[in-house]
């Protein structure tokens, strides 16, 4: 089995719900409609032996229109044939919700909590969707682009020493 | 580095003395005792902690100042060494460790991170531990060399030696703790 065969079988099975096949940096990427992501990954795992969920995370595109402002990315690996695949799902900011992968991969548990913690994506059916890294009292999702990365409480920083003024004066 | 160019040994406190007796103040005597047996509580969270390990080990030998016993129980320590990046989530834990220590207690912030947040000017990192507890000595550096940590400890020993016995009961000290919201009976 090679990656082309995987793509063919996927396109056959989920016609109309997946698309935008592209290859970048040697990794094939497929875009999937939100409602089908669980089925697609289930099929990949159970029928095509993609038995390892390498990573999952979110991306924020603040400039996109609402429908495509967030994306979920799944990296999935077939360890038998050494095939990798990247799946991408766009999510609207107004309805930031997607199925959890925990029934398929136990490892998705903490990764989804992390994604929730940093981006605020809600995972439907997750057994324990609470913050994992940041303080529980935190009210924002810090990896969203509108959130300033620097701590506002810092008083000792002189912009001249950080290359933020034109002539460093 | 240290401004002292010679090493002197601690003698008996310089006061009135003669054969078979000497007179001194209690402050002086207690200060001498405290300064020569500070029990450190290392609170090491990242790279600076590695430098402290070297400081403790045979080459730099923290034991020469009477601090060979690392106390991993805050209740039996009097010098809290905070070494490393303190994430905001770690803040309450550090504070709890501090409040568990018995008076008198001293704090050294080792390294840029503990002092000011260092390079981590970020939403998740506490911008200096003096935001949550009073600090006595700051050791600059990223990371500071063991010699610098030793000098920080040396500076603290001077503070300890010269601290009046009543300081911890003074209104100023109570006020200081109150400004950090630390409750004392
Ligand atoms: S001050 Fe530098 S060496 Fe020390 S903990 Fe921070 S980053 Fe690490």
pLDDT at A148: 81
A37, part of any domain: yes
CA of B60 to the centre of ligand 1 (A): 20
Query: Is residue A163 domain-resident?
Result: no
Give the integer Cα–Cα distance in Å for A120 and A161: 35
Q: How far is the CA of B61 from the centre of ligand 1 (A)?
A: 22
As assigned by CATH, the class of the B37-179 domain is alpha beta
ipTM beyond cut 0.90 = no
How much is the pLDDT for A109? 94
Among A33, A53, A54, A27, residue whose Cα is nearest residue A42: A53
Instruction: Indicate whether A39 pLDDT > 90.
Output: yes
Question: For residue B151, what are the CA distances in angstroms to A31, A69, A111, B137?
Answer: 59, 53, 44, 10
Mutate which of B43, B49, B127, B143 for ligand 1 pocket (most atoms within 8 A of beta carbon): B143
From the candidates A152, A154, A163, which should be mutated to test the interface with B, based on the most B CB atoms within 10 A? Answer: A154
Q: What is the pLDDT of residue A105?
A: 94
Question: What is the reported pLDDT for B9?
Answer: 64
Residue B84 CB less than 6 A away from ligand 1: yes
Interval A79-117: pLDDT, tens? 999 999 999 999 999 999 999 999 999 999 999 999 999
- Establish if A79 belongs to a structural domain: yes
**Of residues A5 and A167, which shows the higher confidence score?**
A5
Report yes or no on A128 lying in a domain.
yes
- Judge whether A156 lies within some domain: no
Q: Which backbone phi and psi does A27 adopt, to 5 degrees?
A: -120, 125
User: Is A95 part of any domain?
Assistant: yes
Name the residue among B88, B89, B121 with its Cβ closest to that of A150.
B121
As for how many domains chain A has, the answer is 1
Residues in chain A closer than 8 A to B119 (CB atoms): none
Mean pLDDT of A118-122: 93
pLDDT for position B2: 57
> Residue A134: pLDDT above 80?
yes
What is the pTM (predicted TM-score) of this model? 0.80
User: What is the pLDDT at residue A92?
Assistant: 94
Q: Which helix (H) or strand (E) holds A60?
A: strand A52-60
B93, B118, B127, best to mutate vs chain A, most A CBs in 10 Å: B127
**SS3 for A90?**
strand
Note whether B36 and B66 are within 8 A (CB).
yes
Give the pLDDT of residue B7. 67
Here the CATH number for the domain that contains residue A76 is 3.30.460.80
Residue of B nearest to A142 (CA): B123
Facing residue for A156 by CB, picked from B116, B122, B123 = B116
- Residue pair B111/B144 in contact (Cβ under 8 Å)? The answer is yes
If you average pLDDT over every residue of chain A, what do you get? Answer: 90
pLDDT > 90? residue A75: yes
Please tell me the predicted confidence (pLDDT) of residue A169: 67
Q: Is the pLDDT of residue A155 over 80?
A: no
List chain B residues with pLDDT less than 50.
Answer: none
**Nearest CA to A117 among A57, A169, A52, A67?**
A57
Distance B6 CA to ligand 1 centre (A): 31
Domain residues for the domain of A100 are 3-149
Q: Whose CA is nearest to atom 5 of ligand 1?
A: B84
Put simply, whether A154 touches B (Cβ < 8 Å) is yes
């Amino acid at each position: 089995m090679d990656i082309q065969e995987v793509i063919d079988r996927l396109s056959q099975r989920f016609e109309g719900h997946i698309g935008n096949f592209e290859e970048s940096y040697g990794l094939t990427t497929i875009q999937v409609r939100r409602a089908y992501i669980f089925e697609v990954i289930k099929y990949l795992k159970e029928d095509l032996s993609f038995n390892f969920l390498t990573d999952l995370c979110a991306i924020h595109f603040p400039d996109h229109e609402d429908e495509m402002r967030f994306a979920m990315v799944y990296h999935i690996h077939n360890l038998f044939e050494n095939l990798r695949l990247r799946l991408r799902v766009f999510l609207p900011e107004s309805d930031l919700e997607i199925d959890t992968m925990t029934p398929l991969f136990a490892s998705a548990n903490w990764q989804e909590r992390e994604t929730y913690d940093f981006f605020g994506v809600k995972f439907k059916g997750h057994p324990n969707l609470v913050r994992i890294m940041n303080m529980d009292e935190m009210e924002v999702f810090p990896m969203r682009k509108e959130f300033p990365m620097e701590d506002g409480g810092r008083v000792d920083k002189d912009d001249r020493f950080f290359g933020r003024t034109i002539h460093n004066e | 580095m240290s401004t002292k160019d010679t090493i002197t040994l601690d003698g008996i406190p310089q006061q009135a003395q003669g054969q078979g007796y000497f007179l001194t103040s209690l402050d002086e005597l207690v200060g001498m005792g405290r300064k020569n047996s500070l029990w450190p509580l290392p609170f090491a969270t990242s790279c600076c902690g590695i430098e402290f390990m070297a400081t403790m080990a045979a080459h730099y030998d923290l034991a020469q100042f009477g601090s060979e016993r690392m106390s991993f129980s805050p209740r039996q320590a009097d010098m809290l060494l905070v070494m490393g990046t303190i994430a905001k989530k770690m803040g309450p834990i550090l504070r709890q460790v501090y409040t568990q220590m018995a008076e008198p207690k001293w704090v050294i912030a080792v390294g840029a991170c503990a002092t000011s947040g260092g390079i981590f000017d970020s939403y998740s990192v506490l911008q200096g531990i003096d935001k949550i507890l009073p600090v006595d000595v700051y050791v600059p550096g990223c990371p500071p060399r063991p010699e610098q940590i030793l000098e920080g400890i040396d500076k603290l020993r001077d503070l300890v030696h010269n601290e009046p016995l009543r300081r911890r009961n003074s209104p100023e000290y109570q006020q200081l703790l109150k400004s950090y919201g630390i409750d004392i009976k």
